[in-house]
A and B are shown apart, each in its own frame.
With several copies, the nearest count.
Chain A
């Protein structure tokens, strides 16, 4: 499914399956990652992200399928014979070694001469802005600093690719944001392929060139952040990546670029025709992102050339940077609308209990297949 069309793939998985006893952790997965890409594996807990990464790193052997690195089949090779390095979620720093010696560990193993080890180690620490801390033990560092040591320890080996398993998962929000930016910078500077596992969609979106959304051992959709966000192809992707307002509908007519669908409660909406494509005509759901919707007091002046729905405000919550509304549609769905906090408080006319009109540009409507409820 996922980008297996990439020609000069640096990391390639072919039909890889992994079973733990009865658990199917990864289900005949295909995957190709370009050289130098920042690739994110995004998915809910237990979907097989870590397992996939561990098979690339050599810590688990696939039950079926093959793993290629730069064209070589490495399926049977132990980790120390693969030129990729992993940054573990728990950092896995060697507690008995100083930061310096941690970073030097990989180079020492590959018999690089002493002087060069020192030089490259210092460089790597510089890169992650830990220049002065080489002599400390890991326990003497804060979480964020430890994370950067782990990164330096992997980077210093100049591996073909860096595998990062929720490297920021254990950090608090503030530090996480800061390190996201730093990680992105480092990846640009060194140009190494990064494979980044996370279950935080915002993190994936703000960092990765390509995001692969995983679910139950397979990849649902892969592409750029904007692609996935604006045109999710499955309900899972639509819901996992940001908030979606989804409404059951069926196809009525297609004229030109836009198709017309009728929602289950009788409203008519228009969607770009090419997005109907793979789905049948019956069991579809149309969706729109909350920030694409504009609210207007009911029967007020609203633009006529777009999709429009009527609803009642249930909640209006102040979130600082934005105000979030929950609107009950006649069909019973609760739709979320997000409006930028331009004025410091929500207008009275959009307060709870008010009738409102929701409008949006048909081009922001997307279509997903209807999935049986889980």
Chain B
């Protein structure tokens, strides 16, 4: 039953959504656009003309290359550690009713409810007190600390939707606890773990605040950009940021295609994983 007023309302909603999405994308257009700017000096904020030069040599500035490499490496290490720690925590929190679970839950929740300046400052204060020199390692420590909660939350959601009889069935069929985890639990929560890993790496790659406190001599991509804002952000930054964006876009597109194929092949709708919307909560600065 669609009345006329309903249709008008539907249109209004659609237009509002389109505007909201546009709002989200305006800066992205700018970022991408200025990766093609043929700027003359060190600054890149006046449109001077089109060039592909920067795309040809995205790593012209070795420091930018180092910064990006650091970011990727830190993200990779962070993701592995945080995903491992977080997955096991989620497992215990969902699967076992143990004493102190409430407290652990709270400790997982608190970092999410604490502004990053506070996290970063507190951690740095600790490093200063303990006379630990900050750098690559401390960045990883910090990143793991505040991504692990996101991992726990994401994996927990997945686990809670999983029938625990399936794990019992595995044990019943002769699988030890470890074999059960490896052969059954892990493959089943894999989409959740994957989403959590994606989330952790996205947050890690994009983090400025906490990193700025704990970076020491190490420069990451966001730190480089922030530093560069004082001197003029080189167009290579735009190139790399745009490239990252396109890579993600392509990966997601492939994923969607793959899922379509799977969906078409399977008779049942269940195979198409529900969009892990909760898991896509983006990174914060």
Contact = CB atoms under 8 A, between A and B. Distances in A.
B271 A92 contact: no
Contact of B169 (A61, A92, A110, A137): A92
B187 interface: yes
A90 B163 contact: yes
B172 A137 contact: no
Contact of A140 (B168, B170, B188, B268): B268
B174 A80 contact: yes
A58 B175 contact: no
B266 interface: yes
A139 interface: yes
Nearest to A156: B173
B274 interface: no
B48 interface: no
B174 A86 contact: no
Interface string A99-119: 000000110011000000000
A157 B173 contact: yes
Contact of A57 (B172, B177, B187, B268): B172
B173 A95 contact: no
Contacts of A79: 1, 168, 171-172
A226 B177 CA distance: 44
Interface residues of A, number: 32
Question: Taking chain B's interface residues, is the majority helix, strand, or loop, or is none over half, making it mixed?
Answer: helix
A92 B175 contact: no
Contact of A94 (B2, B3, B170, B171): B170
A210 interface: no
Interface residues of B, number: 27
A312 B283 CA distance: 75
Contacts of B1: 58-61, 76-79
Interface string B255-267: 0000000000011
Interface in B165-216: 165-166, 168-177, 179, 183-184, 187-188, 190
Contacts of B179: 109
A86 B174 CA distance: 11
Nearest to A94: B184
B170 A110 contact: no
Contact of B172 (A60, A85, A94): A85
Nearest to B269: A139
A225 interface: no
Q: Which of B1, B168, B270 has the most A CB atoms < 10 Å from its CB?
A: B1
B183 to A, nearest CB: 8
Nearest to A101: B183
A197 interface: no
A95 B188 contact: yes
Question: Taking chain A's interface residues, is the majority helix, strand, or loop, or is none over half, making it mixed?
Answer: loop
Contact of B168 (A88, A106, A110, A153): A88
B272 to A, nearest CB: 10
A80 B172 contact: yes
Nearest to B162: A95
A96 interface: yes
A90 B165 contact: yes
Given A78-B1, A139-B268, A140-B267, A93 B172 contact: no
Contacts of A153: 169, 173
Contacts of B166: 92-95
Contacts of B175: 80, 105, 109
Nearest to A105: B173
B266 A96 contact: no
A180 to B, nearest CB: 22
Contacts of A85: 172-173
Q: Which of B169, B179, B190, B270 has the most A CB atoms < 10 Å from its CB?
A: B169
Contacts of B174: 80, 106, 109-110, 157
B170 to A, nearest CB: 7
A233 B226 CA distance: 82
A140 B267 CA distance: 5
B182 to A, nearest CB: 11
A106 B163 contact: no
A106 B173 contact: yes
A323 to B, nearest CB: 37
Contacts of A109: 173-175, 179
Nearest to A85: B172
Interface string A50-66: 00000001111100000
9 contacts: A88-B165, A90-B163, A92-B163, A93-B166, A105-B170, A109-B175, A139-B268, A139-B270, A140-B268
Interface of A: 57-61, 76-80, 84-86, 88-90, 92-97, 105-106, 109-110, 137, 139-140, 153-154, 157
Given A79-B168, A94-B169, 20 more contacts: A58-B171, A59-B1, A61-B1, A78-B171, A78-B176, A80-B172, A80-B175, A86-B168, A90-B163, A92-B163, A92-B165, A94-B187, A95-B166, A95-B270, A96-B188, A106-B173, A109-B174, A109-B179, A139-B270, A140-B271
Ordered nearest first, which 4 A-B pairs have the shortest CB separation? A106-B173, A109-B174, A92-B169, A92-B165
